[in-house]
Amino acid sequence: MLSYQHSYHAGNLADVHKHAILSWVLNYLTKKDKPLSYIETHAGRGLYDLASEAAAKTGEAAKGIEIAQAWFKGSDPYIRALAAIRARHGKDHYPGSPLIAQSLLRPCDHITLAELHPQEVEALRGAIRAGFDRDQRGATVKIHHQDGFDLAQSLCPPDPRRGLILIDPSWEIKSDYNTVPDFMASLSRKWNVGVQLLWYPVLRDGTHVHMTRRLSQLFPDALCHEVKFPPARDGHRMIGSGMFIVNAPWGLDVYGRDLTQKFRRANS
Ligand SMILES: C[S@@+](CC[C@H](N)C(=O)[O-])C[C@H]1O[C@@H](n2cnc3c(N)ncnc32)[C@H](O)[C@@H]1O
C-alpha cells in the first residue's frame, strides 16, 4: 500500500536541491546535438498546486522554493524550467521532475516514466498532456503504471544510449536502503555510460549512511552531494538532502559547491 504523496512536500528544500541538480544535468546533456534517453523510476504526478490544502498543511514550499528561487540567477536551467511551467500553469504551481525534463528536453529526446500510485499516474498523464500545445513538439513521453525498479531493469541499456536516469523513491519501504546500491550496480553493468541520479533524505538518525557507504564502495568515482537545512517541523527526521551521481558530467562538482553555498542561507 502506497501512502506517500509528494503533494505535501513539493517545492520543499529537498526538491530545490534535487531539481536544481537534475536541471543542470539535463541542460549539460542537451548542449550536444545528439538525442538522449531520460528515465524516471518514481515520477510522481508531475505538477503540484502550491495553493492546495496539502501544500498549505505542511507549508514546506513556502519555506522552500518560494524563498530559494531568489538564490539562483534567472539563467539557471532550474529557474528557466520553473518560469516556463509557471507561465503556462500559473504562479501557484510547481513542476515535478517529469515536467522539468519535458521543459528542458528536445523533440529528438525520449522520456520514460514509471509511477505506481493509480491517482498519481493519472494526474501525471494529464500534466504531461498539458505540458505543450497540440501543435508544439517536445520529447516523446511514455508513462508506465509499473514498478520503477522493474521498468528500469527491463529498459536498460536504453536506445539512445546517451542519457540519464533519476531514481527518486519515497523511502517508505525501508529495505530500499539495502537494495538500491545493488540495483544501481546492476544498471551500471548493463548501461555503463548512463548518468544515474539518486535522491535520498539525510536523516537525523543516520539511517541513510550505510547505503551511501555501500554506494561509495561500489562507485568510488561518483559524486555525492549533500546539503543540510532545518527540519520542516520540530522532531522531523529529515535534516538535509542527498544526491548520489554516477557518471557525473564534467563541471557538476563546481555547480554542487555553489549549491552548498546557497543552502548555507537556509541555515543562517
Ligand atoms: C518522491 S515522489 C517522486 C517525486 C518526483 N520524482 C519529483 O521529483 O517530482 C515518489 C513517487 O514514487 C511513487 N512510487 C512509490 N513506489 C514506487 C515504485 N516501486 N515504482 C514506481 N513508483 C513508485 C510514489 O507513488 C510517489 O509518487
Given the CA of residue 169, which atom of ligand 1 is nearest to it?
10
Distance between CA 207 and CA 86 in Å, rounded?
A: 36
Task: Write down the mean pLDDT value for the chain.
Answer: 95
Q: Where are the domains of the chain?
A: 6-267
Q: Has residue 234 got a pLDDT over 90?
A: no
**Cα(169) to centroid of ligand 1, in Å?**
5
**Cα(166) to centroid of ligand 1, in Å?**
11
**Cα(52) to centroid of ligand 1, in Å?**
19
Distance between CA 153 and CA 262 in Å, rounded?
A: 36
Given the CA of residue 168, which atom of ligand 1 is nearest to it?
6
Cβ(170) to ligand 1 under 6 A?
Answer: yes
- Band of residue 242 on the pLDDT scale cut at 50, 70, 90: very high
Ligand 1 pocket mutation pick from 97, 116, 150 by most atoms within 8 angstroms of CB: 116
CA atoms within 13 A on the CB side of 164: 27
pLDDT given for residue 145 in this prediction? 98
AA identity, residue 29: L
Phi, psi of 141 (to 5 degrees): -120, 130
AA identity, residue 3: S
Q: Has residue 266 got a pLDDT over 90?
A: no
Cβ(116) to ligand 1 under 6 A?
Answer: yes
| pLDDT tens, residue by residue, 67-78 | 999 999 999 999
pLDDT given for residue 1 in this prediction? 64
More confident residue, 1 or 176: 176
Q: Has residue 54 got a pLDDT over 80?
A: yes
Considering the segment(s) 6-267 as one domain, its CATH architecture is: 3-Layer(aba) Sandwich (3.40)
The string of DSSP letters for 42-98 reads: S---SEEETTSHHHHHH-TTTTTHHHHGGGS-TTSHHHHHHHHHHHHH-TTEEE-HH
Integer CA distances (angstroms), 123 to 4, 128, 150, in order? 15, 9, 22
Instruction: Supply 98's cell numbers.
Output: 517529469
Catalytic residues: 168
